[in-house]
């Protein structure tokens, strides 16, 4: 049972992105929703049909942050430069958006007396550490500017929490999939890219031998985990957000092809530089607070295939 009984006002930075739009969907009728997004990678149409106030602007603009933060109880900070590959090309921009941007949002939340901020971190912070499954206490090994900024963000959130300036929680998302994920993006996640190819009956291309494993989690469960930690005062610190089940990329491609009923061929292309071999979460810290996912990877794929977007 949520501890937030009263109607609240929430701010979602990056709310017109893939994950943010599912959080907007989740809070329909439950909260007054403000979205701050500069549409860097997000899309206005992701919010079509949803009741929310959309403000086009940047987390680097302190004046806009003061406007949108007024009266806000709960902040979900999702706005970021989201691509590992782009972060390798643009480390300074990555730090500006992902570190200075987060600090701007933390400071505005503190100034305006918000109750809590939930930060979208990433399993990328684990990097090459070979230990499986990944537990929150293991030594991080970030290998890209993107991963470093997510780890920095967690440390800043911990300072605000420890100093009593603002309650914070960080979720390390594993591989998120679901409706509205962009298959056209140069960095399309495996699920969106495979689904697009399977639907067109085109060859599905797998990097390497397909034996690499990932912990895929449906975006509706990520939205529910964000809301859960936001609404539970005892949920502070860092939490893995995954199902705790690994699936190989080859199995994933086959499951998507079967779910679509497609006859797409599978081909193997050279492995991607820097791709880690295995990544599975230990989500027991989040589960022990009482959060439960709705899907697993198989039912999640079935939901995605059935969804109209």
Ligand X SMILES: NC(=O)c1ccc[n+]([C@@H]2O[C@H](COP(=O)([O-])OP(=O)(O)OC[C@H]3O[C@@H](n4cnc5c(N)ncnc54)[C@H](O)[C@@H]3O)[C@@H](O)[C@H]2O)c1
Q: Which residues are catalytic?
A: 146
Closer to ligand X by Cβ: residue 1 or 48: 48
Regarding 170 and contact with ligand X (CB under 6 A), the answer is no
Regarding 192 and contact with ligand X (CB under 6 A), the answer is no
Which residue stretch of 32-40, 157-165, 249-257, 294-302 sits at the interface with ligand X (rule: CB under 6 A)?
A: 32-40
DSSP E strand stretches across 174-263 = 175-177, 204-207, 213-214, 216-218, 237-241, 247-248
Regarding 216 and contact with ligand X (CB under 6 A), the answer is no
Q: x/- contact string, 43-72, with ligand X (CB under 6 A)?
A: ---------------xxx------------
Regarding 94 and contact with ligand X (CB under 6 A), the answer is no
# residues near ligand X by CB under 6 A: 29
Count of alpha carbons within 13 angstroms of residue 78, beta-carbon side: 31
C-alpha distances in angstroms, 160 versus 115, 198, 276? Answer: 12, 46, 32
Q: How far apart are CA 260 and CA 251, in angstroms?
A: 14
Regarding 293 and contact with ligand X (CB under 6 A), the answer is no
Regarding 142 and contact with ligand X (CB under 6 A), the answer is no
Strand pairing category for 175-177 and 247-248: unpaired
Q: Which of 104, 175, 213, 264 binds ligand X (CB under 6 A)?
A: 175
Closer to ligand X by Cβ: residue 262 or 279: 279
Evaluate whether 76 touches 13 at the Cβ level (below 8 Å).
Answer: yes
Closer to ligand X by Cβ: residue 98 or 264: 98
Q: How far apart are CA 218 and CA 233, in angstroms?
A: 24
Closer to ligand X by Cβ: residue 262 or 301: 301
Q: How far apart are CA 192 and CA 223, in angstroms?
A: 18
DSSP E strand stretches across 96-255 = 116-122, 167-173, 175-177, 204-207, 213-214, 216-218, 237-241, 247-248
Q: Least distance from C-beta 272 to ligand X, angstroms?
A: 16
Q: Which of 8, 11, 12, 20 binds ligand X (CB under 6 A)?
A: 20
Q: Which of 8, 19, 23, 229 binds ligand X (CB under 6 A)?
A: 19
Q: Which of 4, 37, 118, 247 binds ligand X (CB under 6 A)?
A: 37
Q: Least distance from C-beta 173 to ligand X, angstroms?
A: 4
Q: Which of 122, 144, 167, 280 binds ligand X (CB under 6 A)?
A: 122
Q: How far apart are CA 13 and CA 119, in angstroms?
A: 10
* Short-list 199, 200, 224, CA closest to 76: 224
Q: Least distance from C-beta 201 to ligand X, angstroms?
A: 26
Closer to ligand X by Cβ: residue 4 or 153: 153
Q: How far apart are CA 33 and CA 275, in angstroms?
A: 37
Helix (H) or strand (E) holding 53, with range, is strand 53-56
Chain residues in the site for ligand X (CB under 6 A): 13-14, 16-20, 36-42, 58-60, 78-80, 82, 97, 101, 120, 122, 173, 175-176, 189
């Amino acid at each position: 049972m949520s501890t937030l009984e009263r109607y609240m006002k929430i701010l979602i930075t990056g709310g017109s992105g893939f994950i943010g739009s599912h959080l907007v969907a989740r809070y329909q009728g439950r909260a007054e929703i403000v979205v701050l997004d500069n549409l860097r990678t997000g899309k206005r149409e992701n919010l079509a049909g949803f009741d929310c106030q959309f403000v086009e602007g940047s987390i680097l603009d302190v004046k806009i942050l003061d406007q949108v933060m007024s009266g806000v109880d709960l902040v979900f900070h999702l706005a970021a430069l989201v691509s590992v590959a782009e972060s390798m090309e643009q480390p300074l921009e990555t730090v500006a958006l992902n570190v200075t941007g987060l600090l701007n949002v933390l400071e505005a939340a503190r100034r305006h007396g918000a109750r809590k901020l939930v930060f979208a971190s990433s399993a990328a912070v684990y990097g090459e550490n070979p230990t499986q499954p990944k537990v929150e206490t293991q030594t991080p090994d970030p290998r890209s500017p993107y991963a470093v900024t997510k780890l920095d963000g967690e440390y800043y959130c911990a300072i605000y929490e420890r100093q009593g300036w603002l309650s914070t929680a960080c979720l390390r998302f594993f591989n998120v999939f679901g409706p509205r994920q962009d298959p056209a993006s140069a960095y399309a996640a495996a699920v969106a890219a495979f689904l697009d190819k399977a639907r067109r009956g085109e060859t599905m291309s797998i990097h390497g031998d397909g034996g690499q494993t990932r912990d895929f989690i449906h975006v509706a469960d990520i939205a529910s985990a964000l809301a859960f930690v936001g609404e539970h005062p005892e949920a502070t610190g860092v939490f893995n957000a995954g199902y705790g089940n690994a699936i190989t990329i080859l199995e994933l491609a086959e499951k998507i092809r079967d779910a679509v009923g497609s006859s797409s061929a599978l081909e193997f292309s050279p492995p991607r530089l820097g791709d880690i071999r295995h990544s599975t979460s230990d989500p027991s810290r989040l589960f022990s607070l009482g959060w439960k996912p709705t899907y697993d990877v198989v039912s999640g794929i079935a939901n995605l295939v059935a969804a109209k977007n």
